[in-house]
């Protein structure tokens, strides 16, 4: 087995699906940054630096798939809550449909 090739491929797949995972985690939920990362980690071992999630959230926000709001805390250190927009929900549906298609073809081809 070519280990380094598999390793690289895995990290590419992970990178490519991170936005899809994040959007799914946010489906019907509202999470602040740290919490969101914890949720993502429940489902997948992100080997990339956790901090990379913030630029990703910024991109999703610019694409108007998610929206965010700062909520003041008694600690004086506010939390930024993220949630899906209507367009985000629709986009996610589209992405899920594609994912299912892909899954079917992969299953067929790997048989």
Partner 1 sequence: MKPIAFQESASKKIYDSYIKRIKRTTSTLPKEDRNEVLLEFNSHIYEGMQRNSDPSEVDAILAILQKLGEPEDVLKPLIAKKKLLQATRTFNPLHIAKALVLNIANGVSYVFFAFLYILLFGFGYIIVEKIRRPEEVGLFFVDGQFETLGTMGDYPRDGRIMEVLGNWFIPVMVLVTVALFVLITLLLRMKQRFIK
Confirm if 83 and 30 have CB atoms less than 8 A apart: yes
Taking CB under 8 A as the rule, does residue 94 contact partner 1?
A: no
17, 9 in Cβ contact below 8 A? no
Other CB atoms within 10 A of residue 16 CB: 9
Q: Contacts with partner 1 in 55-74 (CB under 8 A)?
A: 55, 58-59, 62-63, 70
Smallest separation (angstroms) from partner 1 to the CB of 37: 8
Q: Which of residues 27-46 bind partner 1 (CB under 8 A)?
A: 32-35, 37
Tell me which stretch binds partner 1 (CB under 8 A): 4-12, 21-29, 78-86, 100-108.
78-86
DSSP string, 19-45: HHHHHHHHTT--EEHHHHHHHHHHH--
Can you give the binding site for partner 1, defined by CB under 8 A?
A: 32-35, 37, 48-52, 54-55, 58-59, 62-63, 70, 75-80
């Amino acid at each position: 087995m070519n280990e380094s090739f598999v390793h690289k491929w895995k990290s590419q797949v992970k990178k490519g699906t991170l936005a899809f995972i994040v959007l799914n985690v946010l489906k019907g939920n509202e999470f602040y940054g740290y919490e969101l990362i914890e949720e993502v980690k429940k489902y997948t071992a992100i080997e990339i630096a956790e901090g990379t999630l913030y630029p990703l959230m910024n991109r999703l926000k610019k694409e108007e798939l998610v929206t965010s709001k700062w909520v003041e805390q008694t600690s004086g250190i506010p939390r930024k809550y993220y949630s899906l927009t209507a367009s985000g929900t629709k986009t996610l549906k589209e992405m899920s449909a594609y994912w299912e298609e892909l899954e079917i073809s992969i299953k067929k081809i790997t048989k």
